[in-house]
Amino acid sequence: MKKYHCFNRLFIAAGLLGLTTLVQAQNDDAIRLSRNTEPGNTPPIWVSMSGFTGEAAAVLQFDLYVQGFGFTNANGAQYLISGSNNGNLEGRVMDHFNKNALVSKAYSGSTLRRQAHAFADDFVQALGRKGIGQTKIAFVVEGGYGKSEVYVADFDGHGPQPVTRDNSLAAAPCWVPGRFAVYYNSYKLGNPAIFSHDLSTGARRTVAWYGGSSISPAVSPNGRKVAMILSKDGWTDLYVADADGSNIKRLTKSPEDESSPCWSPDSEWICYATKIKERRALCKISASGGSAQRIPTSGVPNPTEPDWSPDGQWIAFTAQRGGFEICVVKAEGGEVTELVAGEDPSWAPNSRTLVFSRRSGGGHLSVLDVPTKQVKDVARVSSGVNSQPSWAR
């Protein structure tokens, strides 16, 4: 309640100075933000941190680093972060420039780890951005030859929990937007089929089980549709159905191998990888049908595994020369920015951080802040290769 009291005061103060001022200032912010988020070429926002120890300090450093903050001493910092973590966490953030307190909060309940994630989120949100500290990822863990299971964990890899225990092949998990539920494909029934899995109840349903292979599910942002790759009609084509698998519709009829669909944030378009005139390419097609349109990715060979950012601006994907490169391109296509080595990127809800996989070090996941190119490795499930991450959003 106290929090709202202060918030009201801010509004009253802003109201006194006139609403137009506030609106205009927001527009200026928007311009500044877009200029400051050029992929791979943006300096970090400098912060200093004092008073935190151990796990709390580590969580704050991780969370802020992968959202574009850099750590320096108090003299060089734009924001001064201070606090303590004796039992519960207390934290403050001051703007070094105008000495305003951006955040001043104490936390209780759950774990210290989660309190630190919440404080990081409160700071990031005070800057008008979306915090990702309390988000989840799903991914695949290999477990011996031709075996793999789906896991979920905090976005930094902590608290991993197995979703499947089928002793089969499970692959390509994707989240149902806004719900604690995932879709994935599993070979549990013999040939690969697509399942939905409610993570709260454990209830699992078959969404698509056809002859051949039913693979690569992607649930639309509005939760109503699922895009997938099926070979039931004799070619590996892109299909769309209602979220439960009914009302299936074939969107492509191409002898090439379509793969790895993803959705535009308005649930109108599906982007996928295919082959055009013997060259790999990204395309998009209306979810209600029509002709495919190429998304140019100039100069980059073998684009696959696209993921459309939740703000609609970017498509992240994997390019392949000798190794794999994480790339981003404007959603309409064009000049590609190659970022770091890795494959299979998935956007965080903030449309700036990606989780992706690397085959080095036994196969692990990393997170990348696209504007600054800052990377941190995610805690690994040690039993096998970790791959195919999907960020809950």
Contacting another protein within 253-292 (CB under 8 A): 253-260, 273, 280
Is the CB of 110 or the CB of 288 nearer to another protein? 110
**Which 46-75 residues touch another protein, going by CB under 8 A?**
none
Q: How far is the CB of 94 from another protein (least distance, A)?
A: 9
CB of 49 within 8 A of CB of 60? yes
Measured from the CB atom, the residue of 240 and 374 that comes closer to another protein is: 240
Phi, psi values for residue 91, rounded to 5°: -150, 150
- Please, which residues have CB within 8 angstroms of residue 378's CB and are 6 or more apart in sequence? 137, 153, 155, 156, 157, 355, 364, 365, 366, 367, 386, 389
> Least CB distance from residue 272 to another protein, whole Å?
10
CB of 55 to another protein, least distance (A): 15
CB of 148 to another protein, least distance (A): 7
* C-alpha separations of 3 from 22, 104, 105, 240 in Å: 21, 9, 9, 45
Site for another protein in 170-209 (CB under 8 A): 171-172, 180, 188-193, 195, 197-209
Shortest Cβ 367–another protein spacing (Å): 18
Tell me whether residue 17 or residue 75 sits nearer to another protein (CB atom): 17
If one asks whether residue 78 binds another protein (CB under 8 A), the answer comes out as no
What the block records as the tokens of 201 is 């109840």
| Site residues (CB under 8 A) for another protein, limited to 223-252 | 229, 231-237, 245-246, 248, 250
User: Is 136 near another protein (CB under 8 A)?
Assistant: yes
- Count of residues touching another protein (by CB under 8 A): 108
Count of CB atoms situated within 10 Å of the CB of 59? 27
162, 312, 363, 384: which one contacts another protein (CB under 8 A)? Answer: 162
Which is closer to another protein, CB of 55 or CB of 256? 256
Binding residues among 340-369 for another protein as defined by CB under 8 A: 343-344
Using CB under 8 A, which of 63, 90, 325, 369 touches another protein? 90
Q: Which two tokens stand for residue 117?
A: 């994630």
Identify whether the C-beta of residue 319 lies closer than 8 Å to the C-beta of residue 325: yes
Applying CB under 8 A, among 165, 224, 249, 294 the residue interacting with another protein is: 165
Please list every residue from 288 through 317 that binds another protein, using CB under 8 A: 302, 304-305
Q: Which of 386, 287, 296 is nearest to 344 (CA)?
A: 386
Cα radius of gyration rounded to whole Å, the chain: 22
Structural tokens at position 59? 């969580």
11 or 266, CB closer to another protein? 11
Interaction residues for another protein, span 101-130 (CB under 8 A): 101, 104-110, 114-115, 118, 122
* DSSP codes joined into one string, 297-326: EET-SS-EEEEE-TTSSEEEEEEESSSEEE
Which residue number, 72 or 302, has a Cβ lying nearer to another protein? 302
Within 10 A of 323 (CB to CB), how many other CB atoms are there? 12
Closest CA to 155 of 385, 324, 346: 346
- Answer positive or negative: Cα dihedral of 307, 369, 162, 147: positive
CB 340 to another protein: min, Å:
15
Q: What are the φ and ψ backbone dihedral angles of 35, each rounded to 5 degrees?
A: -70, -30
Q: Which two tokens stand for residue 333?
A: 């296509």
Site for another protein in 17-46 (CB under 8 A): 17-18, 21-22, 24-25, 28
Q: First-to-last CA distance in the chain?
A: 28
Binding residue for another protein, selected from 62, 324, 347, 391, defined by CB under 8 A: 324
**What is the residue type of 38?**
E
Q: Give min distance, CB of 359 to another protein, in A.
A: 8
- Shortest CB 293 distance to another protein, Å: 20
Tokens of 105: 């909060």
Q: Please, what is the Cα angle at 19 between 16 and 21, to 5 degrees?
A: 100
- Window contacting another protein (CB under 8 A); options: 15-23, 38-46, 51-59, 376-384: 15-23
